[in-house]
Structure 1
Amino acid sequence: MSQRQLISSGTPWEPLVGYSRAVRVGNLIEISGTTAMDGDELVGRGNVYEQTRFILQKVSAILAEAGASLSDVVRTRMYVTDISQWEDVGRAHGEFFRDIRPAASMVEVSALISPDLLVEIEVTAVLRPVG
């Protein structure tokens, strides 16, 4: 059985709600829905492009902590509160994944946990076997 590695961002919500920022089991890494919050501060208020870029920078750091990189990403799921802004979200996503090209979904949701959050992204990564 593969060892389970829990990766925490240190927020008080993780133990309260019962989740981890990311979980690695074997060569699989799942990253929970990630938003543009930096501690108690929102990055990119009112700007879905800036929020998406910040989220993907956070995802990159989380992957590094799990022993992976953006090149290991096989799937992204983007939840947006206004699908008419899909091009801005897509442009930021493309800046990070243009050459990697994971499977991706973008869906409009009625709301995220705060009305100031415009996008939330989940990521799946699979590490390639060494050798």
Structure 2
Amino acid sequence: MARTRISSGSRFEEEIGYSRAVVDGDDIFVSGTTGYDYTTMTIVDDVVAQADQTFRNIAEALAKADATLDDVVRVLFIVPRRGDWEPCYPVIKKYLGKARPASTLIHALLQNDAMRIEIEVTARRQKKA
């Protein structure tokens, strides 16, 4: 099966040279995604709102790969500020509570100070009966 690249339309993908997601067979690898609203190229300051937007961005990429957040098997969270992690719990449960993927959290700086959370996922499409 051919490899397919998925774009969100973000200018960063073209400028830097990466894809929002890559589909290889039934595996879907979604790049680290932040809370930018790609239609307006804006980001709000609130970490909870950023987490919500991030999951919506990821869900959109997965939909283009014929998958959903329920297909996520692995997730990596990157959060610069330790105090921002716990407020995101309800948002994470809202979007990943059914999938309950393997998970890792790293505290590290992101591309710019406006970004308060970055999320990377790996998903596997379910076999159709």
Q: TM-score over 0.5 for the alignment? A: yes
Aligned residue runs from structure 1 range 45-60, under 5 A: 45=45, 47-60=46-59
- Determine which of 116, 120, 123 is the counterpart of 1:122: 120
Give the count of matched residue pairs: 127
Question: Which structure 1 residue ranges, 4+ long, deviate > 4 Å from structure 2?
Answer: none
After superposition, residues 1-131 of structure 1 pair within 5 angstroms as 2-39=1-38, 40-42=41-43, 44-45=44-45, 47-109=46-108, 111-131=109-129
TM norm structure 1 = 0.90
- Unmatched runs of 5 consecutive residues or more in structure 1: none
| TM-score w.r.t. length of structure 2 | 0.92
Deviation at 1:71, TM superposition (A): 1.0
Q: Are the aligned partners of 1:78 and 1:120 in contact in 2 as well (CA < 8 Å)?
A: yes
Deviation of 1:14 (Å): 1.8
1-structure distance, mates of 2:37, 2:97? 25
Q: CA contact under 8 A between 1:74 and 1:103: conserved in structure 2?
A: yes
Runs of 5+ in structure 2 lacking a partner?
none
1:80-121 C-alpha deviation (Å, 9 max, x unpaired) = 011222211222111111122111111110x21111110000
